[in-house]
Amino acid sequence: MNSLSKDQIHFIDNYLENSDVLYADIRMEMVDHVGSAIEKQMKLQKTEDFYSVFKDYMVASKANLLENNKKFLRDVDKGIFKRLFRLLSKPRAIIAFILLVFISYKVMTINGHNSIVDIFYWFPNASIVPFLILYFVMLKVFKLSRFSGVERLVFVYMVFFQLLNLLRILFRGYFNSETANYVIISVVVSTMILIPIVLLQLTYHIMNQYRLKYKSI
Amino acid sequence: MRNSKLYKGSLNTIILKLLKEHDKMYGYEITQKVKTITKGELNITEGALYPALHKLEAEGLLDVEVVKVDNRLRKYYKLTETGSKETVNKLNELAEYIKTMQALVNPKLA
């Protein structure tokens, strides 16, 4: 007995996928771990019975493997949020925010606040489009697998999408009033523009990182 | 393993130390190495090892390399430059901790 065959590896991979280990990066590592453990056990027991060794291993270790999966997903989510806040607190993002506030304020003083309020209505919905394009390009053109960092971005997008919509609902009445303060409108609109742009930048970073890390696949 | 909680806080240091001594290692290899060195006393589970490895990777202390081995993909971990420096710090911290504990529980040996 040397190493497991392609079919046996495929069997482990399928088993883990059916056990809700959905993302390729974490499953790949688990498949190797389980495969190595089974190879060692088969060697020790001097047996060729892969399925019996696999069954015994899973009885003993499945809970641990799935715990690893849960922790992994929690860490991925935390990691994405951390990176997003790091990007938002960078001088470049702060300067961009100040510029956006300044530009939108100037536009309103020239054309009135209705010209800016339009952005306020369509931007959150429109911001999802570039993400979908990038996701499609990475998956189809670069043949990127279902990696956790990429797929969990959808969750982050949904959180911010809801937040931006909440802002929109909260400020809708105020924005339509004649007494609306231009500085407040500028700050809210700039926030709604900046967050999706930074999210998109993060999406590109994460996807590119996977593309480079797994280029040998 | 008799008391896993006592070892839990040192898991990162154990991983960094092993990677300092070996150019690159993969997850299962780390668990087996620890088992052999400690003569079976310390058995690192998958649920503890991989989150620790991923955290160290996210902190920039480890770099990864994915290689195709025996019909499957294997993720190797190796120390980055920052990781090598951090290993020295962590080992010094651990040595200090052991010294302090020694002074507390067995003053004659300290």
Report DSSP letters for A41-88, one per residue: HHHHHT---HHHHHHHHHHHHHHHHHHHHHHHHHHHHHHHHHHHHHHH
- Whether chain B has a CB inside 8 Å of the CB on A130: the answer is no
Which residues in chain B are closer than 8 Å to A79, comparing Cβ atoms? 58
Give the model's pLDDT for residue A171: 79
Q: Which domains does chain B have, with CATH numbers?
A: 4-105 (1.10.10.10)
Closest C-alpha to A10, from A44, A42, A34, A40: A34
The answer to whether A75 and A60 have CB atoms below 8 angstroms apart is no
Q: Are B54 and A31 inside 8 Å of each other by CB?
A: no
Query: What is d(CA A47, CA A44) in angstroms, rounded to the nearest whole number?
Result: 8
Which residues in chain A are closer than 8 Å to B58, comparing Cβ atoms? 75, 79
Closest C-alpha to B75, from A143, A107, A31: A31
At A12, is the secondary structure helix, strand, or coil?
A: helix
State the nearest Cα–Cα gap between A210 and chain B, in angstroms: 11
Instruction: Look up residue A79 and give its amino acid.
Output: G
At B9, is the secondary structure helix, strand, or coil?
A: coil
Burial of residue A3 (number of CB atoms within 10 Å: 0-12, 13-18, 19+): middle
Whether the complex's predicted ipTM is more than 0.90 is answered with no
Tens-of-pLDDT digits for all 217 residues of chain A? 578 999 999 999 999 999 988 888 889 999 999 999 999 999 998 888 999 999 999 999 888 888 888 888 888 888 888 899 999 999 999 999 999 999 988 988 888 777 777 776 777 677 778 878 877 777 777 666 677 777 788 888 888 888 888 887 887 788 777 778 888 888 988 888 898 889 888 988 888 888 777 765 5
Which residues in chain B are closer than 8 Å to A5, comparing Cβ atoms? 71
Give the model's pLDDT for residue A26: 87
Cα B51 to Cα A51, A102, B19, B70, distances in angstroms: 28, 44, 16, 25
Over residues B23-75, the pLDDT tens digits come to 899 999 999 999 999 888 888 888 889 889 988 998 899 999 888 888 899 99
- What average pLDDT does chain B have? 88
Q: Are A68 and B50 inside 8 Å of each other by CB?
A: yes
Closest C-alpha to A75, from A85, A64, A86, A67: A67
Query: Which residue in the set A29, A35, A67 is minimally distant from B47, CB to CB?
Result: A67
Give the model's pLDDT for residue B87: 94
Closest C-alpha to A161, from A131, A117, A118: A131
Residue B1 has pLDDT above 70, yes or no: no
Q: Which secondary-structure segment (H or E) carries B39?
A: none
Query: What is d(CA A134, CA A148) in angstroms, rounded to the nearest whole number?
Result: 16
At B107, is the secondary structure helix, strand, or coil?
A: coil
